Amino acid sequence: MTSRMSHPRDARTAWRLAAVAAAAILVALPTCARAQNAVLLVNGEPITAYDIDQRSKFHQLVSHKTPPRQEIINELIDEKLKIYVGKRYQLELGEKDVDTAYGEMAKRMRMNGDQLTKVLAQNGIGAETLKNRIKADIVWSQIVRGRWGQSLQVREKDVLEAAEKKGGEAGAVTYEYSLRPILFVVPRGSAAAIVEGRTREAEALRSRFQNCDEGIPFATALRDVAVRNAITKTSADLAPALREILDKTPVGKLTAPEVTQNGVEVFAVCSKKETTADSAAKRQAREEIFSKQFQAKASRYLEELRKGAMIEHLK
């Protein structure tokens, strides 16, 4: 049996009816909700004046400048389309998954989720503004990778050529380090004299530290000293300055003391070995090539979605 809505004009009529119905619902809302009334509908999903204002404030906070209003609207339209196509492919993130990603973002800023929410609130921004963006980006990444996974493979030849063009050492030896962070705890707000005293203690430990097997138990027994679990890092993971420090630190010795927000920290270099992992130059080149390919595929697909979308401007 032929569907009644099979003709394109019928489909457009259905979208318009949905848009009118959604607008009617918004008009019927209480006064406080009408203040957030829809400016446009994307496949029936509203983008409100409040959404636009919130995203503008977010950009101001992050980049210290506010893009033109239409640019903000286009960004929000794209997000609606990403979520819309995600539902089509049954790729929907739960609230818990979004909160986890939000917390990870906060951690990279050296905060927890609550602290990030507080910073946003101080600038008149609701946490949902950032969470909506995170949700759309994660769903979109999964969709693009799923559709073009094979064609997004980066050839080793291209990586080597790109690394050499940048002047990087594509064939440089990469090392894998096993490190034990050792923290001489200093309470926040302590006087400079206390920090200096703890730094001298760290230097004293450094002078007598001969190997990890004996030195770690000794450090663990010291007062107000926290010895953390071993971490593994490759040369490519490290900033050039830190890579240089570790290269100059013999195995079984400690790095020079560094004052951090939690105290005075040193690292025990427990092992160092060559690895087949990418060098820093190769890793950067690989990431840049992949990002360029990903963005090209994503932009084309987003264009297709925009052409097929029902976007209703209400104001």
Number of structural domains found in the chain: 2
pLDDT of residue 52: 95
Is the same domain home to 15 and 144? yes
Mean pLDDT of 235-247: 79
Is the same domain home to 249 and 309? no
Is 304 domain-assigned?
yes
Is 108 domain-assigned?
yes
Is the same domain home to 61 and 105? yes
Is the same domain home to 183 and 270? yes
Query: Can you say how many angstroms the Cα of residue 106 is from the centroid of all Cα atoms in its chain?
Result: 9
User: Highest-confidence range of 101-110, 158-167, 214-223, by mean pLDDT?
Assistant: 214-223
Is the same domain home to 136 and 177? no
Is 307 domain-assigned?
yes
Expressed as residue numbers, the domain containing 271 is: 173-275
Instruction: Give 104 or 14, the one with higher predicted confidence.
Output: 104
Give the chain's mean pLDDT: 82
Is the same domain home to 179 and 229? yes
Is 257 domain-assigned?
yes
The percentage of residues in the chain with a pLDDT greater than 90, rounded to a whole number, is: 53
pLDDT in tens, 35-65: 458 999 999 999 999 999 999 999 999 999 9
Range with lowest mean pLDDT among 38-47, 90-99, 156-165, 251-260: 156-165
Mean pLDDT of 196-214: 95
Is the same domain home to 252 and 136? no
CATH number reported for the structural domain that contains residue 55 in this entry: 1.10.4030.10
Region of 285 (left: φ > 0; alpha: ψ -120 to 50; beta: rest) is: alpha
Helix (H) or strand (E) holding 226: strand 225-227
Instruction: Give 33 or 241, the one with higher predicted confidence.
Output: 241
C-alpha dist (Å) from residue 244 to 33, 103, 166, 248: 57, 31, 20, 6
Is 244 domain-assigned?
yes
CATH number reported for the structural domain that contains residue 234 in this entry: 3.10.50.40
pLDDT of residue 285: 72
Is the same domain home to 224 and 308? no
pLDDT of residue 43: 93
In sequence order, the 6+-apart residues with CB closer than 8 A to the CB of 292 are none
pLDDT of residue 1: 39
Is 130 domain-assigned?
yes
pLDDT above 70: residue 3:
no
pLDDT in tens, 117-173: 999 999 999 999 999 999 999 999 888 888 787 766 766 676 666 666 665 554 556
The percentage of residues in the chain with a pLDDT greater than 70, rounded to a whole number, is: 78
In sequence order, the 6+-apart residues with CB closer than 8 A to the CB of 95 are none
Is the same domain home to 17 and 146? yes
Confidence grade of residue 200 (pLDDT, cut at 50, 70, 90): very high
Is the same domain home to 21 and 66? yes
